[in-house]
Structure 1
Amino acid sequence: MCGRMTMTHPNDAMAQLFEAAPANDLPHVPNYNVCPTNAVAVVTARAGGAESADRAFRPMRWGFVPHWYKKPNDGPLLINARAETIAEKPAFRAAVRTRRCLIPATGFYEWTKGEDDARLPWYFSRPDGAPMVFAGIWQVWDKGEEPLTTCAIITTGASDWMAKTHHREPVVVAPEDWATWLGETAAKAAPLMRPAPEGAFQRWRVDREVNSNRARGAGLIAPLAA
Structure 2
Amino acid sequence: MCGRFSLTATPRELAEVFGLLETEDFPARFNIAPTQPILVVMSGERQRPGSNLPERRALLVRWGLTPSWVKDPRDFPLLINARAETAAGKASFKAAMRHRRVLIPASGFYEWHRPSKDSGQASQAYWIRPRNGGIVAFAGLMETWSSADGSEVDTGAILTTHANSRIGDVHDRMPVVIKPEDFARWLDCRTQEPRDVADLMAPADDDYFEVIAVSDRVNKVANTGADLQTPVQVAARPAAKPKEPPENPQLSLF
TM-score greater than 0.5 by the shorter chain: yes
Pairing partner for 2:44 from 35, 43, 46: 46
In structure 2, distance between residues paired with 1:202 and 1:196? 12
Pairing partner for 2:27 from 20, 26, 29: 29
Unaligned stretches of 5+ residues in structure 2: 235-254
Is 1:130–2:134 an aligned residue pair? yes
In structure 2, distance between residues paired with 1:206 and 1:116? 19
Are the structure 2 counterparts of residues 198 and 77 from structure 1 closer, same or farther at C-alpha, using a change threshold of 3 Å? same
In structure 2, distance between residues paired with 1:190 and 1:130? 25
Normalising to structure 1: TM-score of the pair?
0.91
- 1:203 maps to a residue whose letter is V
| Residues 70, 143 of structure 1: 8 Å contact kept | yes
In structure 1, distance between residues paired with 2:135 and 2:229? 15
Is 1:158–2:163 an aligned residue pair? yes
Match of 1:213 in 2: 221
Unaligned stretches of 5+ residues in structure 1: none
| Residues 42, 102 of structure 1: 8 Å contact kept | yes
Match of 1:201 in 2: 209
Farther off after superposition, 170-179 or 46-55: 46-55
Match of 1:181 in 2: 186
For residues 178-208 of structure 1, what are the alpha-carbon distances to aligned partners after superposition, in whole Å with 9 as ceiling and x for unaligned? 0000017845211101000121100110011
The Cα of 1:46 is off from its aligned counterpart by: 3.1
Match of 1:7 in 2: 7
Identity %: 38
For residues 126-154 of structure 1, what are the alpha-carbon distances to aligned partners after superposition, in whole Å with 9 as ceiling and x for unaligned? 11111110000101101165210011000
For residues 154-193 of structure 1, what are the alpha-carbon distances to aligned partners after superposition, in whole Å with 9 as ceiling and x for unaligned? 0011112211110001000000000000017845211101
Is 1:88–2:92 an aligned residue pair? no
